[in-house]
Structure 1
Amino acid sequence: MSSIQKKTDVILIGAGVMSATLGSLLKELAPEWEIKVFEKLANAGEESSNEWNNAGTGHAALCELNYTSEKADGSIDISKAVNINEQFQLSRQFWSFLVNSNLIRNPQDFIKSIPHMSLVIGEQDVSFLNRRFKALSNVPLFRGMEFSDDPEKLKEWIPLIMEGRTSSEPIAATKIDSGTDVNFGALTRMLFDHLQSKNVEIKYKHSIKNIKRTSDGSWEVKVHNLESGKIEYHTAKFIFIGGGGGSLPLLQRTGIPESKHIGGFPVSGLFMVCNNPKVVEQHHAKVYGKAKLGAPPMSVPHLDTRYIGNKKALLFGPFAGFSPKFLKTGSNLDLICSVKPNNLFTMLAAGVKEMALTKYLIQQVMLSNEKRLEELREFIPNAKIEDWEIVIAGQRVQVIKDTEAGKGTLQFGTEVVSAADGSVAALLGASPGASTAVNVMLEVLERCFPQHMKEWEPKIKEMIPSYGVSLAENPELFQEIHDSTTQTLGLGEKEPIHG
């Protein structure tokens, strides 16, 4: 088995949407830099970014109730919702720049306009939704949101959900037409096609075996060519680890102090998919409900219109599950191998604190198809089992770390971990993930290349006009950018619902 040694400027590990986004940004900001990408699988966007492995929601907090919380005085804290919406606007701007520059084409192949709705049942939740609606309506980013607790109006909005509903409990929904369905797999593949055209070397079927520091401060990556069996050694001044659930073990191999006292807890997901055209045509929205008591935020039930391969489908879920794998294509030893002496007590503390989550996951794993159908019927009372099939979605690794809230705190979000000198960065965590990829990668640039940010800023503002500006506080700028990106991405068209 022979070995090869090569030098480059930047190494991106993992051919998902995060690496694709960072590579695309860097190619605009520093076109002379040499970039190499290593991916274990045969193609781009096959794991977490794949269209079947995520919800395909353009997360902008338009419908996700877990991004707004109720304070002790009954008022609604919308700060997280505003923040996530702002982040999604950055993604829209960057995608629009790529389309306008002819760097990617046919945006309708990865993004479509879909109303986003929140649906609640019961007097208490209807009151919460109404207060949430009023709080968000004061923010320009949520302009156009409607609220209704009138069953007749809801029949117009969501006929499939309202048909056959016999309960006398109060029911209410909010609707906003500016929501999106995003095929992150298609977007990832487009971005990697673009990067290849810019002479970025993308090595598929190459698995990372080790990452270590060299005497001159660079990083050496040991790579196994899965086809030839050869071992290659590549060195770079900067490494980004964007391997989805596989990022944590790779980060641990760097040995940087920032990688200590961090653990990961894998959660798998299942969706029920409807391919009966008669049923699919009766629904055109992403409708998010409320997580049940004891359920984690990523398990919020939702009924989604999806476009996968330009075919319309309905997905309901997710149903949580447990697998010790950190990736769908991972190993059953992933979880146990991630436990190190430096994070053992962090992991044990999380195990004690998260007994309710463990119990919930066990219950979810034990669910029969009949029980899943019962949950589906809370959304679609007339649902028939023969119209639906089960699809296994992606693995997500929730970050566990020591915080002010205590040792072994489970984090529900997306996190960047970087070395103090900015020479290596890794992306960990889950939702809102891909939707906020541009914001997250800008954070990577700010942390890892502070010496270049001043010279890069004019180009960043050309690509992302609102960079460094709060759109929530600048309604005119928001409206201008929103109208422009809506036109560029072809998001203005509405599709009728066939009740």
Structure 2
Amino acid sequence: MSATLGALLKELVPDWKITVIERRAVAGEESSNEWNNAGTGHSSLCELNYTSEKSDGSIDISKAIKVNEEYQVSRQFWSYLVDSKMIRNPRDFITAVPHMSFVQGDKDVNFLRKRFEALSNNPLFEGMEYSEDPAKLADWIPLMMKDRKVNGPIAATKIDSGTDVNFGSLTRMLFDHLKSKNVEIKYNQNVDDIKRAGNGAWELKVRNVKSGQVERHSAKFVFIGGGGGSLHLLQKSGIEEGKGIGGFPVSGLFMVCKNPEVVAKHHAKVYGQAPVGAPPMSVPHLDSRFIENKESLLFGPFAGFTPKFLKFGSMLDLIKSVKPHNLVTMLACGVKNVPLTTYLIKEVVASKEKRMESLRQFIPNAKSEDWDLVVAGQRVQIIKDTVAGGKGTLQFGTEVINAADGSIAALLGASPGASTAVSVMLDVMQKCFPQHMKAWEPKIKEMIPSYGVSLLKNPDLARELHASTSRSLGLNGDHPIQIERRTVS
């Protein structure tokens, strides 16, 4: 998110001075790191939690449409970066991979059928296929269908326009570009405090994590894009808009296949239904991943709990986030989410064999010796009081909190996260620099042709932009590459 905001602003106002302060030794080691997330280009093609069944039995696709449109905005900006030679090789961060949804049982098959009918007539989801035929599914996902005992209804949707995105690589490329544009990037620096100065500027106390040396920085505008660490910094700013907000950390684990013969038999991102009581980030999925032109196979995520807000954080992070202004909200959340807490405790203590049982729902003949466990990233879900959910509502999504005067903004939350980074950062700019947006609009439209336009209401434009971004990003097969099967030891 921070890299995206920097890249956008540097195109719009090249003379503005931008400084990046990063706690780690390199960019994107936390949430953006390629092994800390599933690498899905979230566009609602396969994620069942972006659609819900209403009381009358119909399917609500409004969130799916919103996420898809936002992902198309990201594709447009990435294409602009490639076409402008700011990013040399798009295959270093994005690869075409079919996106699929897979379900079993009468209830879920009926839901998927209705979901397909609701989406397939939508211009944003053209090309989606549906089947309940085990023979067809065996053609689509041979690894998942081999040795499967089909004792009841089974179904899947498939769409070939899905993507795998290496957000770690993209983040590093964006910061390399910013560095070439004279943006100062300071690594191994921790922001210890943020205070409002008398002149209205923000004063940052920054400490070198290796030497302990302290520096002071002053800025007219601050963006806090610190992943799980954003909440602490937002609280230190003291802005009224940050009051009453808490955070609930959820950790993640993936199983990674170390048998190249197994890896070679699967080529798709296949999402299922989340277990009862599980958070949306724990929707099980079997993913083909492409990292440095090497193919991997991941399954998960398995949710867990640790009080850390960052993978490299402190065991005291959760306790330190509890303040007088959010204490009641946090307690209310705890009372309302006993099933989630129970689920997370079970996940934490689960054995490898228990996790293998979950994997065998996807790959019936999966062998324990072929799979290793990898610790993924931390996600901090937002807790706040809402009209719809009442006090202590646990929010599953991405949200920007900004001061009324637009001088500071913080990014909180998780999925769909990085996939919608460009839309989220355009929203940040609209809230924090409203006086500049009219002058910036022509350049924004050059970078993002659909800016201010609904792709849903303009299907011809949607098709045109999807085709052009596919060409720019090498997603239409015009630039084949050699893929090496990756195994993990």
The answer to whether the superposition gives a TM-score over 0.5 is yes
The residue type equivalent to 1:483 in the other structure is A
Deviation per CA, 1:74-124: give whole Å up to 9, x if none.
110000000000000000000000000111110001000000000000011
The residue type equivalent to 1:181 in the other structure is D
Aligned to 2:202: 219
Q: How much does 1:297 deviate?
A: 1.0
* C-alpha distance in structure 2 between counterparts of 1:125 and 1:193, whole Å: 45
Equivalent position to 2:319, from 336, 350, 355: 336
Contact 2:91 2:474 in 1 (8 A): yes
- Distance change (3 Å), C-alpha of 1:320 and 1:329: same
Q: How much does 1:308 deviate?
A: 1.9
The residue type equivalent to 1:484 in the other structure is S
Matched residue of 2:221: which SS? strand
Equivalent position to 1:209, from 192, 201, 207: 192
Matches within 5 A, 1:308-327: 308-327=291-310
* C-alpha distance in structure 1 between counterparts of 2:13 and 2:385, whole Å: 36
Which ranges of structure 1 fall in alignment gaps of 5 or more residues? 1-17
* C-alpha distance in structure 2 between counterparts of 1:53 and 1:292, whole Å: 21
* C-alpha distance in structure 1 between counterparts of 2:215 and 2:277, whole Å: 47
Query: Is 1:138 aligned with 2:114?
Result: no
Deviation per CA, 1:419-467: give whole Å up to 9, x if none.
0000000000000000000000000000000000000000000000001
* C-alpha distance in structure 2 between counterparts of 1:59 and 1:118, whole Å: 13
Query: Is 1:471 aligned with 2:447?
Result: no
* C-alpha distance in structure 1 between counterparts of 2:474 and 2:230, whole Å: 34
Which ranges of structure 2 fall in alignment gaps of 5 or more residues? 484-489
Contact 2:18 2:184 in 1 (8 A): yes
Aligned to 1:269: 252
* C-alpha distance in structure 1 between counterparts of 2:442 and 2:482, whole Å: 42
* C-alpha distance in structure 2 between counterparts of 1:431 and 1:105, whole Å: 28
Query: Is 1:355 aligned with 2:353?
Result: no
Matched-pair identity in %: 71
The residue type equivalent to 1:252 in the other structure is Q
Contact 2:249 2:378 in 1 (8 A): yes
Query: Is 1:401 aligned with 2:391?
Result: no
The residue type equivalent to 1:430 in the other structure is A
Matched residue of 2:43: which SS? coil
Deviation per CA, 1:381-424: give whole Å up to 9, x if none.
01001110000000000000010020110000000000000000
Aligned to 2:446: 462
* C-alpha distance in structure 2 between counterparts of 1:315 and 1:439, whole Å: 28
Contact 2:76 2:465 in 1 (8 A): yes
The residue type equivalent to 2:4 in the other structure is T
Contact 2:22 2:186 in 1 (8 A): yes
The residue type equivalent to 1:156 in the other structure is D
* C-alpha distance in structure 2 between counterparts of 1:433 and 1:254, whole Å: 23
Matches within 5 A, 1:380-391: 380-391=363-374
* C-alpha distance in structure 2 between counterparts of 1:353 and 1:425, whole Å: 29
Query: Is 1:178 aligned with 2:194?
Result: no
* C-alpha distance in structure 2 between counterparts of 1:496 and 1:38, whole Å: 37
Aligned to 1:108: 91
Matched residue of 1:492: which SS? coil
* C-alpha distance in structure 1 between counterparts of 2:210 and 2:357, whole Å: 46
What TM-score, normalized by structure 1, do the two folds share?
Answer: 0.95
Query: Is 1:415 aligned with 2:415?
Result: no
Matched residue of 2:130: which SS? strand
- Distance change (3 Å), C-alpha of 1:157 and 1:222: same
Aligned to 1:296: 279
* C-alpha distance in structure 2 between counterparts of 1:243 and 1:125, whole Å: 37
Aligned to 2:225: 242
* C-alpha distance in structure 2 between counterparts of 1:68 and 1:120, whole Å: 14
Aligned to 1:65: 48
Q: How much does 1:294 deviate?
A: 1.4
What TM-score, normalized by structure 2, do the two folds share?
Answer: 0.97
The residue type equivalent to 1:186 in the other structure is S
Equivalent position to 1:151, from 134, 144, 154: 134
Q: How much does 1:275 deviate?
A: 2.4
Query: Is 1:192 aligned with 2:192?
Result: no
Equivalent position to 1:255, from 238, 244, 254: 238
The residue type equivalent to 1:187 in the other structure is L
Deviation per CA, 1:136-175: give whole Å up to 9, x if none.
0111010000000000000000000000001311110000
Aligned to 2:468: 484
- Distance change (3 Å), C-alpha of 1:239 and 1:496: closer
* C-alpha distance in structure 1 between counterparts of 2:85 and 2:294, whole Å: 25
Query: Is 1:306 aligned with 2:294?
Result: no
Please report the RMSD computed on the Cα atoms of aligned residues, expressed in angstroms.
1.2
Deviation per CA, 1:315-337: give whole Å up to 9, x if none.
00000000000000000000000
The residue type equivalent to 1:372 in the other structure is R
Q: How much does 1:208 deviate?
A: 0.5
* C-alpha distance in structure 2 between counterparts of 1:323 and 1:200, whole Å: 35
Equivalent position to 1:35, from 11, 18, 23: 18
* C-alpha distance in structure 2 between counterparts of 1:451 and 1:264, whole Å: 32
Matched residue of 1:395: which SS? strand
* C-alpha distance in structure 2 between counterparts of 1:310 and 1:72, whole Å: 45
The residue type equivalent to 1:410 in the other structure is L
* C-alpha distance in structure 2 between counterparts of 1:328 and 1:298, whole Å: 16
Matched residue of 2:82: which SS? helix
Deviation per CA, 1:320-379: give whole Å up to 9, x if none.
000000000000000000000000000000000010100000011111001000110000
* C-alpha distance in structure 2 between counterparts of 1:496 and 1:100, whole Å: 23
Q: How much does 1:229 deviate?
A: 2.3
Q: How much does 1:495 deviate?
A: 9.8
Matched residue of 1:458: which SS? helix
Deviation per CA, 1:277-308: give whole Å up to 9, x if none.
10001000000000111111111000000012
* C-alpha distance in structure 2 between counterparts of 1:96 and 1:495, whole Å: 19
Query: Is 1:86 aligned with 2:69?
Result: yes
- Distance change (3 Å), C-alpha of 1:496 and 1:303: farther
> 4+ residue stretches of structure 1 with deviation over 6 A?
494-497
The residue type equivalent to 2:418 in the other structure is A
* C-alpha distance in structure 1 between counterparts of 2:399 and 2:221, whole Å: 18
Q: How much does 1:36 deviate?
A: 0.2
Contact 2:293 2:482 in 1 (8 A): no
